[in-house]
Amino acid sequence: DAGVIQSPRHEVTEMGQEVTLRCKPISGHDYLFWYRQTMMRGLELLIYFNNNVPIDDSGMPEDRFSAKMPNASFSTLKIQPSEPRDSAVYFCASSTRTSGRTDTQYFGPGTRLTVL
Amino acid sequence: AQTVTQSQPEMSVQEAETVTLSCTYDTSESDYYLFWYKQPPSRQMILVIRQEAYKQQNATENRFSVNFQKAAKSFSLKISDSQLGDAAMYFCAPKNNNDMRFGAGTRLTVKP
């Protein structure tokens, strides 16, 4: 399996611009997670989906952030408009259920976002 | 919500020696998973080892093993025969259903 795929790997943009991060989960996984990693706050869960439906978006920092999962093999995280404090590494992870419980989350390589 | 404490911001080990990274957490749940992830300079989050809380036997993966003390809510990682490639940030992460929390991490340096 190719693992979780994220694109782009690096993104540099200017304040006020729209940014779209993309994720392809592991085939067959029905849970998808978006995390953000910063020096100040560490790793934080932003939102997760089950069977393409957003289940918990309580970690989304504000209305400038939105996430979609139009099908089982693709998800986007959009920031509009972007601000310098959004600079971070954004990870996508996916998992599935074993023995009736959600199991290990496998992470993508991350997207390093820099907002100037 | 779970809180996770990794009390060692940095650790150092000589190549071929053994090192133990500590982790304590707080949870009111009885059934959950615990993970250690490794993050090398490439920043990829790599699963190191996984433990199910209902299992009394400590998990082992080659040179990596855990000491899971459920009553004490402690989940330490032991790395035996340390190798240069083990140098990375290590994150402890207890998970209840889809709520996975990460510690602040321990930076491990391996000296040749």
Low-confidence winner among A8-22, A101-115, B65-79, B81-95 (lowest mean pLDDT): A101-115
User: What is the residue-averaged pLDDT of chain A?
Assistant: 94
Helix (H, G, I), strand (E, B) or coil at A87: coil
Q: Which of B44, B50, B99 lies at the smallest CB-CB distance from A104?
A: B50
pLDDT, tens only, B71-112: 999 999 999 999 999 999 999 999 988 889 999 999 999 999
B4-63 residues touching A, CB cutoff 8 A:
31, 33, 35, 37, 42-47, 50
Give the per-residue pLDDT at B98: 83
Instruction: Report how far residue B85's alpha carbon sits from residue B41's, in angstroms, rounded to the nearest whole number.
Output: 11
**What's the pLDDT at A1?**
63
The pLDDT assigned to A100 comes to: 65
What gap in Å lies between CA B38 and CA B90, rounded to an integer?
A: 5
Can you spell out the DSSP letters for chain B? --EEE---SEEEEETTS-EEE--EEE-S-SS-EEEEEEE-TT---EEEEEEETT--SPPEETTEEEEEETTTTEEEEEE-S--GGG-EEEEEEEEETTEE-----EEEEEE-
Contacts of A102 in chain B (CB under 8 A): 97-98
- Residues B64 and B8: their CA atoms lie apart, in Å, by 18
Tokens 């989940």 correspond to B75
Q: How many whole angstroms separate alpha carbon B2 and alpha carbon B102? A: 9
Q: In sequence order, which residues have a C-beta less than 8 Å from that of residue B83 and are 6 or more positions away?
A: B15, B63, B110
